[in-house]
C-alpha cells in the first residue's frame, strides 16, 4: 500500500498586537483557518510583538477576544516572538558564520548620507553594501545585514497571483538584527515559519514585495520556502483603501454594535472569494468549499450596508435561543438584567421582532417594552394617542381582553373591528392607542401578536394604566 508523504498542511496567523484586530487581518485569519480546516491541517496563532513600544497586552487580549468571537480556534499557540529572541540570534549567528550575513558599522548619519547621494544620482535609496566584504564583528551601534545576491532573480508561483519574479539587484542588504539585539520582521517571520513547519503563507498582497527577501532567507537557512498566496486588499465602496471613513474597521467594534459572528464570517469570506452564485454559507459550508483556487486577484470591496443586510438575514433565520445569550449585554446597557422567568416571554417575542431588528442592539431596543413592568412612554406618542377620547376606547378594549383573553387573535381582531364600527371611528383609532398603551411607542409588531406575547394579565394592567393616563393628558407632557 502506497504511503502519502505529502506534509500536513499548516497555516498561521501572525497579528501584531499594536492595535485591535481589523477587518483585513480578520479576513486573513479566516482564509488561513478555512484552508487548514478544509485540508484537515493545523492553524497556528503567533503574536508578532517585537515592537515593544507599540505592543500592548490590551491589544493581545482584544485580538484573542475577536478570534474567539469569530470562532477561529487555533491548534497551536499563541506563540510570542519576544519569547524567541535567543532562537533568532542563533539563526543570525549561523548566517554570519556561513558568510550569508555580515556586521555593518555604518552610523545612521552615514546611511542617511548614502541614501541622499544615491537619490541625487538618480538611483534608489538603497544601502551600498560598503561593509559587505570587510569581515567586521560586533561593535557599538552595529547591526547585522543579510548578504543577498546582486544578480539574477528570485521567483515563485503565487497560489493567487500566479508566477512572480523579482530582480535581485532591486533589493539591498536588509538589516536582520538591530543594534539592540532584536530581530527585524523578515528574519523573525522566516525563522518562525521554519520552526513551526508552516507549509502555506496566506496573507495580504501588500506583502508581495517582502516575499523575495524572505525566500532568499529561507534558502540561506537551508529550508524549503512555503507556498505563498497573496490575497487581494480590501477597499471601501468608493474603491479607496478601507479606512475609518467607511465605518468601523475593527472586528470588536462590530461585535459591540450588535452584529452576529456568523454574518461577519460570511461577509469576510466573500471578500475576495466565491463559490458559484451562493451568498449565504454556514460555517461547515465555508470549510467544505474553501480553497485558494477560488480566491480572486482583484481588490475586494467592503460595504457596511451590505454587512448590515447580511446580519439582518442571519437575525431573522436564527432560532430564538441562539439570540438569547448574545442579546443579554445589550439589554443590560438599557438597564435590564434578563431574569430566568422572563426568558420564555423574550423567546416568544424574538420571532416577531427580528424582521424589524437588523442587529442585537436593535433587538434589545425593541424587546425592552416587553421586559419592563410598564413600558416607558414616548411623550410625543402619549400626547397624540392617549387622549380623553381614547380613554373610553382603552377601557372598552380592557373589557374585551377580560372577556376574550389574548390568545385568540382572530376573535380579538374582530372585536376591534366591531368596536371601531360601533363608535364610527377608524380601526387605527382603536389600534394605535392600544399599541402606545402596551409598548409606549407608535411602532411594534402586529398589535394582536403583541397582546399574545405579553399575556392577559400584563395587557390588562397596561391598558388600565394607559386609560388613567389618557384621562389626565397633562401627565403625559
pLDDT of residue 394: 96
Instruction: Count CB-CB contacts under 10 A for residue 446.
Output: 13
Catalytic residues: 244
Read off the pLDDT of each residue in 100-114 and give the average, rounded to a whole number. Answer: 93
Average pLDDT of the chain is 94
Report the pLDDT value the prediction gives residue 211, as an integer from 0 to 100: 98
Please state, in angstroms and rounded to a whole number, the distance separating the CA atoms of residues 472 and 258.
39
pLDDT tens digits, 383-400 = 999 999 999 999 999 999
pLDDT of 284 strictly over 90:
yes
1 pLDDT band, cuts 50/70/90, is very low
Question: Is the CB of residue 212 less than 8 Å from the CB of residue 166?
Answer: yes
Tell the CATH superfamily of the 85-231 domain: HUPs (3.40.50.620)
Please confirm whether the linkage preceding 465 is cis (ω < 30° from 0): no
- Confidence bin at 334 (pLDDT 50/70/90): very high
On the question of pLDDT at 3 being above 60, the answer is no
pLDDT at 190 over 80: yes
CA 63 to centroid of chain Cα atoms: 10
Structure pTM? 0.91
- Res. 477: pLDDT tops 70: no
CA 379, 383, 388, 392 torsion: positive or negative? negative
d(CA 212, CA 218): 10
pLDDT band of residue 475 (cuts 50, 70, 90) is low
Are the C-beta atoms of residues 132 and 146 closer than 8 Å to each other? no
Contacts of 267 (CB under 8 A, 6+ apart): 302, 306, 307, 310
pLDDT over 90 percentage in the chain: 88
Domains 85-231 and 379-476 share a fold: no
114-124: average pLDDT: 81
Sign of CA dihedral 24, 25, 29, 30: negative
Lowest mean pLDDT among 82-96, 234-248, 262-276: 234-248
Residue 474 is predicted with a pLDDT of 63
pLDDT of residue 179 exceeding 80: yes
Q: Parallel, antiparallel, or unpaired: how do β-strands 10-13 and 200-204 relate? A: unpaired
Q: In which band, very low, low, confident or very high, does the pLDDT at 252 lie, cut at 50, 70 and 90?
A: very high
For residue range 416-472, what is the model confidence (pLDDT) as tens digits?
Answer: 999 999 999 999 999 999 999 999 999 999 999 999 999 999 999 999 999 999 987
How many angstroms from the chain centroid is the CA of residue 343? 29
Q: What is the pLDDT of residues 35-46, one digit of tens each?
A: 999 999 999 999
For residue 34, what pLDDT is reported?
Answer: 98
| Mean pLDDT computed over 409-421 | 93
Reply yes or no on whether the pLDDT at 189 is more than 50.
yes
Q: Decide: 134 and 147 in contact? Cβ < 8 Å.
A: no
DSSP 138: -
93-106 mean pLDDT:
97
**Domain covering 379-476, topology:** Arc Repressor Mutant, subunit A (1.10.10)
Contact by Cβ (8 Å): 439, 462 = no
Predicted local confidence at residue 473, as pLDDT: 67
Structure confidence at residue 246 as a pLDDT band (50, 70, 90) = confident
Among 230-234, 235-239, 418-422, the least confident range: 235-239
- Give the span between the Cα atoms of 440 and 365, in whole angstroms: 12
Residue identified by cell 502519502 is 4
Question: What pLDDT does residue 123 have?
Answer: 77
Class of domain 7-79+232-317: alpha beta
CA pair distance 195, 211, nearest whole angstrom: 18
Looking at the DSSP bridge assignments, the partners of residue 101 are 146
Domain ranges of the chain: 7-79+232-317, 85-231, 319-371, 379-476
At residue 2, the pLDDT reads 40
Is residue 237 over pLDDT 70?
yes
Which pLDDT belongs to residue 5? 63
Amino acid at each position: 500500500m502506497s504511503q502519502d508523504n505529502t506534509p500536513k498542511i499548516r497555516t498561521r496567523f501572525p497579528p501584531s498586537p499594536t492595535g485591535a484586530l481589523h477587518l483585513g487581518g480578520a479576513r486573513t485569519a479566516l482564509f488561513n483557518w478555512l484552508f487548514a480546516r478544509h485540508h484537515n491541517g493545523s492553524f497556528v496563532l503567533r503574536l508578532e510583538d517585537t515592537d515593544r513600544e507599540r505592543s500592548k497586552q490590551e491589544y493581545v487580549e482584544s485580538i484573542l477576544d475577536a478570534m474567539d468571537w469569530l470562532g477561529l480556534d487555533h491548534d497551536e499557540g499563541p506563540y510570542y516572538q519576544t519569547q524567541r529572541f535567543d532562537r533568532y540570534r542563533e539563526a543570525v549567528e549561523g548566517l554570519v558564520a556561513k558568510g550569508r550575513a555580515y556586521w555593518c558599522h555604518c552610523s545612521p548619519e552615514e546611511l542617511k548620507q548614502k541614501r541622499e547621494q544615491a537619490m541625487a544620482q538618480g538611483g534608489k535609496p538603497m544601502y551600498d553594501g560598503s561593509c559587505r566584504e570587510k569581515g567586521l564583528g560586533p561593535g557599538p551601534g552595529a547591526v547585522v545585514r543579510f548578504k543577498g545576491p546582486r544578480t539574477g532573480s528570485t521567483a515563485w508561483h503565487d497560489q493567487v497571483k500566479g508566477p512572480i519574479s523579482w530582480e535581485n539587484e532591486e533589493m539591498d542588504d536588509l538589516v536582520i538584527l538591530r543594534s539592540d539585539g532584536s530581530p527585524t520582521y523578515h528574519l523573525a517571520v522566516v525563522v518562525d515559519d521554519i520552526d513551526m513547519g508552516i507549509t502555506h503563507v496566506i496573507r495580504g498582497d501588500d506583502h508581495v514585495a517582502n516575499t523575495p527577501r524572505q525566500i532568499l532567507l529561507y534558502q540561506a537557512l537551508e529550508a524549503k520556502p512555503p507556498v505563498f498566496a497573496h490575497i487581494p486588499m480590501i477597499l471601501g465602496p468608493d474603491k479607496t483603501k478601507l479606512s475609518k471613513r467607511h465605518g468601523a474597521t475593527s472586528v470588536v467594534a462590530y461585535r459591540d454594535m450588535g452584529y452576529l459572528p456568523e454574518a461577519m464570517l460570511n461577509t469576510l469570506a466573500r471578500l475576495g472569494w466565491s463559490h458559484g452564485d451562493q451568498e449565504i454559507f454556514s460555517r461547515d459550508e465555508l470549510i467544505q468549499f474553501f480553497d485558494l483556487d477560488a480566491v480572486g486577484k482583484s481588490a475586494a470591496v467592503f460595504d457596511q450596508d451590505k454587512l448590515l443586510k447580511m446580519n439582518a438575514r442571519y437575525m431573522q433565520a436564527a432560532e430564538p435561543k441562539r439570540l438569547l445569550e448574545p442579546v443579554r449585554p445589550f439589554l443590560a446597557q438599557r438597564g435590564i438584567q434578563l431574569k430566568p422567568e422572563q426568558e420564555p416571554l423574550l423567546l416568544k417575542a424574538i420571532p416577531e421582532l427580528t424582521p424589524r431588528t437588523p442587529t442585537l442592539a436593535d433587538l434589545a431596543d425593541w424587546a425592552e417594552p416587553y421586559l419592563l413592568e410598564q413600558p416607558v412612554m414616548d411623550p410625543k406618542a402619549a400626547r397624540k394617542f392617549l387622549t380623553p377620547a381614547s380613554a373610553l376606547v382603552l377601557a372598552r378594549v380592557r373589557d374585551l381582553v377580560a372577556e376574550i383573553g389574548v390568545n385568540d387573535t382572530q376573535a380579538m381582531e374582530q372585536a376591534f373591528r366591531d368596536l371601531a364600527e360601533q363608535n364610527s371611528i377608524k380601526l387605527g383609532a382603536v389600534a394605535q392607542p392600544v399599541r402606545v398603551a402596551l409598548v409606549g411607542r407608535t411602532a411594534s409588531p402586529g398589535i394582536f401578536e403583541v397582546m399574545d406575547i405579553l399575556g392577559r394579565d400584563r395587557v390588562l394592567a397596561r391598558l388600565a394604566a394607559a386609560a388613567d393616563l389618557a384621562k389626565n393628558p397633562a401627565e403625559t407632557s
